[in-house]
Amino acid sequence: MTGKKLGRREFLKLMAGAAAGSALAACKPQIVKETVVVEKPVEKIVKETVVVTEEKVVKETVEKVVTATPVPRTEVSFWGNPLPRYAENIARYLPRFEEEHPTIKATYVPYPDEGEAKFLAMAVAGNAPDVRENAGSNYWNHVRNDLAMDLEQYYSDLPRAYMEDWSPRFLEWLRARDGSNSIWGVPMRSLHMVLLYNASLFDEVGADYPLDWNHDEYLSEGAKFRKEEDGRVVRWAGHSIVKADLWFEQKLKAFGGNLVDPEDWTRCALGEPESQEALEWLYKAIWEDNIWPQTAQIENYWYAPFDSGGIASQECASWIIGVWYEAIQERFRWDFAPYPKGPGGTRAANAGADCWTMWSGSPHPDEAWELMKWLVSDDGEICMMEAAGSEPARHSLYGDWYEIMKKQFPLMAEDTNWQAFEQPMAEGFDYITGVFADPGIAGEILNPALGQFIDAGEVTPDYFKGIADEITAAVRAEYG
């Protein structure tokens, strides 16, 4: 067709030809051309052109794609890592989840300041997030107060490989202790305790790297690093934030002790011989040998001067890498070693207790579970690792983590011992920190005592035998 419009004369000619053609129908096959528009409940409108003759029927189908009616989606929200890098990452990864789950809309909310108080208020109001990050004592507070959904019914839906991939210690910690098999969370990430050390400083003082230190060597070798200038100490062998429960219990565990009796969360175990031995080591390191800084000797107890070269080693987990990396750059070489062994060569390393939980009042638990499954999938874990540098909760993903770390921290040495973080899970000496039946009651008694011990040196390890009895009595008075 040329697209030329028909004039009146041409139109009449065609009409006359059509009339003549009808008279010849008995002598010539008749052709009838018909276009049928068929609407179907799919994403296409189908136009069907049919040519009918006496001899055959020819069908020609032309398809035209049109906008489909939007599929309604159920919205589920989750509180996650508040780092801007995570927000950027999750914006890239979530569309993958939604593509795989076309009936679910997942909304990420950065974990807010005063998040725990806000969550409780929202739960009372009936509009809390469906899924959230959780950890430690908060996790068990949610369990005790029926704020967390029992996921036991959903766990059979997880790939078997995940169950074999997670640390048995982590899963045991998440489960009920009454034999019911209830479980309220899924592991989110690992944060294994290791020893960060200033390799350049070790070279300077002629000390061997602490790749297999025990706590006796920690003290004896530590003396090489202590340095005084103008009558004041300016350099120490090590440091740990032992005023915080996680770091404090790590030291106890290294000696076979406990803060909380693992079989009875109403009982404080600081009076036990193993815990007392750990406390004696701390007292000697801080107050007798002073190879660890006293609180008054440094400006910031919580961030001791590892970045300035004033401390040879720091007991910490992988979350600190990004902080020190920015501060250190190329000023000195630093690396990682396993946490020093305790008496008899025993090892222990806290693995953190970070998990995902579902709000018990979620109006869409099945959809929320689909989101939780995705958050612990390869995509969900790698999203977290790339954004926060966190170790994976699943053992098989450590290879991915190593590659991510090398890309994020290119100034680290090629032979950096990243495997130190995986070793506790690989060799089975990881553990999850204990939790008092009421951490608040225990903390009101323990925290002032730790201040007297660590900050002021006013009390000795024996003092904690009485503190243990006092904590136990107070918690049992509330929880029996």
pLDDT digits (tens, 9 = 90+) for 85-128: 999 999 999 999 999 999 999 999 999 999 999 999 999 999 99
Question: Average pLDDT over the chain, rounded to whole?
Answer: 88
What is the reported pLDDT for 305? 83
Q: How far is CA 264 from the centre of its chain?
A: 28
Closest to 321 (Cα-Cα) out of 331, 308, 306: 306
Hey, what are 440's tokens?
A: 């608040």
* pLDDT tens per residue, range 211-244: 999 999 999 999 999 999 999 999 999 999 999 9
Hey, what are 333's tokens?
A: 């070489």
State the pLDDT confidence band at 78, using cuts at 50, 70 and 90: very high
Average pLDDT rounded to a whole number, residues 28-36? 37
What is the reported pLDDT for 40? 43
Those residues whose C-beta lies under 8 Å from the C-beta of residue 331, and which sit 6 or more positions away, are: 309
Q: What's the rounded Cα separation, in Å, for the pair 82 and 63?
A: 47
Q: Is 16 a residue whose pLDDT tops 60?
A: no
Hey, what are 32's tokens?
A: 């009838």
What is the reported pLDDT for 71? 73
Q: How close are the terminal C-alpha atoms of the chain, in Å?
A: 93
Average pLDDT rounded to a whole number, residues 60-69? 55
Instruction: Calculate the CA dihedral of residues 286, 292, 296, 297 and round it to 10 degrees.
Output: 140
Q: What's the rounded Cα separation, in Å, for the pair 194 and 314?
A: 8
> Are 314 and 250 within 8 A, CB to CB?
no
Higher pLDDT, 469 or 47: 469
Q: Is 282 a residue whose pLDDT tops 50?
A: yes
What is the reported pLDDT for 20? 34
Higher pLDDT, 56 or 119: 119
Q: What's the rounded Cα separation, in Å, for the pair 78 and 67?
A: 30
Residue intervals of the chain classified under CATH 3.40.190.10 are 74-190+353-393, 194-350+413-479
Per CATH, is 194-350+413-479 categorized as 3.40.50.10190?
no
303 φ, ψ (degrees, to nearest 5): -130, 80
Largest pairwise CA distance in the chain: 124
Lowest mean pLDDT among 174-178, 361-365, 393-397: 174-178
Average pLDDT rounded to a whole number, residues 423-452? 95
Higher pLDDT, 34 or 239: 239
State the pLDDT confidence band at 12, using cuts at 50, 70 and 90: very low
**What pairing do the DSSP bridges indicate for beta strands 74-80 and 104-110?**
parallel
Return the bridge partners of 260, or none: 268
> Are 297 and 305 within 8 A, CB to CB?
no
H-helix or E-strand containing 46?
strand 44-52
User: What is the architecture, at CATH level 2, of domain 74-190+353-393?
Assistant: 3-Layer(aba) Sandwich (3.40)
Q: Is 11 a residue whose pLDDT tops 60?
A: no
Phi-psi region of 179 (alpha: psi -120 to 50; beta: other; left: phi over 0): left
What is the reported pLDDT for 302? 87
* pLDDT tens per residue, range 128-162: 999 999 999 999 999 999 999 999 999 999 999 99
pTM of the model: 0.82
Return the bridge partners of 314, or none: 196, 239
> Which segment, 29-43, 208-222, 294-308, is predicted with the most confidence on average?
208-222
Helices (H), 126-180: 136-144, 152-155, 160-165, 168-174
Q: What's the rounded Cα separation, in Å, for the pair 294 and 285?
A: 9
Return the bridge partners of 77, or none: 107
Instruction: Calculate the CA dihedral of residues 449, 455, 458, 462 and round it to 10 degrees.
Output: 50
Q: What's the rounded Cα separation, in Å, for the pair 353 and 305?
A: 27
> Are 59 and 48 within 8 A, CB to CB?
yes
State the pLDDT confidence band at 63, using cuts at 50, 70 and 90: low
Task: Give the CA radius of gyration of the chain.
Answer: 34
State the pLDDT confidence band at 32, using cuts at 50, 70 and 90: very low
Average pLDDT rounded to a whole number, residues 195-212? 97
Taking residue 204's Cβ as centre, other Cβ atoms within 10 Å add up to 14
> Are 280 and 461 within 8 A, CB to CB?
yes
Taking residue 336's Cβ as centre, other Cβ atoms within 10 Å add up to 22
Average pLDDT rounded to a whole number, residues 63-71? 60
Q: Is 370 a residue whose pLDDT tops 80?
A: yes
Return the half-sphere exposure (C-beta side, CA atoms, 13 A cut-off) of residue 244.
12
What is the reported pLDDT for 338? 97
Angle at 51 between CA 49 and CA 53, to 5 degrees: 165
What is the reported pLDDT for 9? 38
